[in-house]
Amino acid sequence: MEYIYAIAILMALYVILATSFNFIIGYGGLISIAHPVFYALGAYSSALLARDMGVPVFLAIPAGGLIALIASVAVALPSLRISGDYLLIASIGFQLGILELIKNLPWTGGSGGLTNIPSFLTQTAGREAYVAFAVAAAIGSVLLLRWIAQGPYGRAMSAMRDDELAFAALGRNAMTMKIAIFALGSSLAGLAGGIYVHYFRFIAPGQFDILQSSALLTMVVVGGLRSTWGPIVGAIALEALPQAITFVNLPPSVLGPLQGILFTSLVLIFMFVRPQGLIAASERWHGRNEEVRDARRA
């Protein structure tokens, strides 16, 4: 049973990560790979706040999200000021840099990982409660981002992706919008990190490396960029797939590389055969029902 709970929580967390990553690269059109690092920042911050500073876990988790948000603004602000392309380069540097920092700082547990992280909910309310907590957070994140994407903010994001110059000439600030998108997406990743860490109670920098970035990218691309269900389906399917392979009883030396090959070939196959992903988003922006209804009535 414990195994099932762990999988359910991981799926919920990957739904948050893929959905928020989709918000950044799909809706924002921002090319970044550093999403796992914001996940790591949330996880480490929450773990250290709760373990070493006695902050209650229910406060430490949102604090982790806040730290991820601040870090994301610090990365996005200078790189977006120059040009959007620099965000990709800055994000690679940021990912490598932060992971090196975690490996070498005296209070992060180093490459061996951080242990003895306080648990949350499981002792008082049971593991089922934690599953519910993670799933609720996933549903909340999906609904929040969908609500934003289908409202006036989503319309503006569409316009910004279509034509930044025309967007600016109409009095809109594309840079502010990009930073807000990046910050919101990254803070959700940070939140997911906090939820992860107080259940599994162990983290190591190796969990947040570039392979993790490619896994998230695979989830979004295979699921369907810029759709609500795409990243959800992608996250659940690609989280289930490696678990399924483990049942085949292959030796671990084969298993690891096999997963890498599987993810990479999936991205390649989808890029060529079905670039829109499993669940294709409409090319056209569609607003919430109330907006459409209002327009028709008026």
Partner 1 sequence: MLAGLEVTNLSKRFGGIVVADAIDLTVPSGRIVGLIGPNGAGKTSFFNLVSGVVPPDAGRIVLDGKNMTDLKMPQRARLGLARTWQNLRLFPSLSVLDNLLIGARDYPGERLATLVFQPGRIRRTGKAERLKALEVLERTGLAGIADTEIANVPFGQQKLIGVARALMNDPRCLLLDEPMAGVEGHAYRAIQKVVRGLAESGVAVCVVEHNVAFIRDLCDEGVFMFAGKVLARGDVESLVADPRLTELYFGT
The footprint of partner 1 on residues 149-208 (CB under 8 A) is 151-153, 155-156, 158-159, 161-163, 165-173, 177, 180, 184
Minimal distance, residue 160 CB to partner 1, in Å: 9
Indicate the residue among 13 and 279 with the shorter CB distance to partner 1: 279
25, 32 contact by CB (below 8 A)? yes
Q: Which is nearer to partner 1, 170 or 240 (CB)?
A: 170
Q: Which is nearer to partner 1, 180 or 245 (CB)?
A: 180
Return d(Cα 274, Cα 128) in angstroms, integer. Answer: 37
Give the Cβ contact number of residue 21 at 10 Å: 28
Nearer to partner 1, 151 or 206 (CB): 151
Task: Tell whether residue 295 is a contact of partner 1 (CB under 8 A).
Answer: yes
CB of 156 to partner 1, least distance (A): 4
Residue 280 in the binding site for partner 1 (CB under 8 A): no
Q: Which residues are CB-neighbours of 288 under 8 A, at least 6 positions away?
A: 147, 150, 151
Binding status of residue 39 toward partner 1 by CB under 8 A: no
CB of 207 to partner 1, least distance (A): 30
Backbone angles phi, psi at 114, to 5 degrees: -105, 130
- In the numeric block, the tokens 């992706």 are attached to 161
Question: Can residue 146 be called a binding residue for partner 1 (CB under 8 A)?
Answer: no
From 102-110, 148-156, 185-193, 205-213, give the range in contact with partner 1 by CB under 8 A: 148-156
The pair of structure tokens assigned to 181 is 């998108």
For the CB of residue 165, give the shortest distance to partner 1 in the complex, in Å.
7
Measured on CA atoms in the order 22, 23, 26, 31, is the torsion positive or negative?
negative
Q: How far is CA 283 from CA 162, 220, 225, 286, in A?
A: 11, 17, 11, 9
Contact between 66 and partner 1 by CB under 8 A: the answer reads no
Nearest to partner 1 of 20, 158 (CB atom): 158
Q: Which two tokens stand for residue 44?
A: 């480490």
Rounded to a whole number of angstroms, the minimum distance from the CB of residue 161 to partner 1 is 7
The Cα–Cα gap between 194 and 197 comes to 5
Options 26-34, 145-153, 216-224, 262-270: segment touching partner 1 (CB under 8 A)? 145-153
**Smallest separation (angstroms) from partner 1 to the CB of 189:** 17
Q: Least distance (Å) from partner 1 to the CB of residue 136?
A: 19
* Site of interaction with partner 1 (CB under 8 A): 148, 151-153, 155-156, 158-159, 161-163, 165-173, 177, 180, 184, 283-285, 287, 291, 294-296, 298
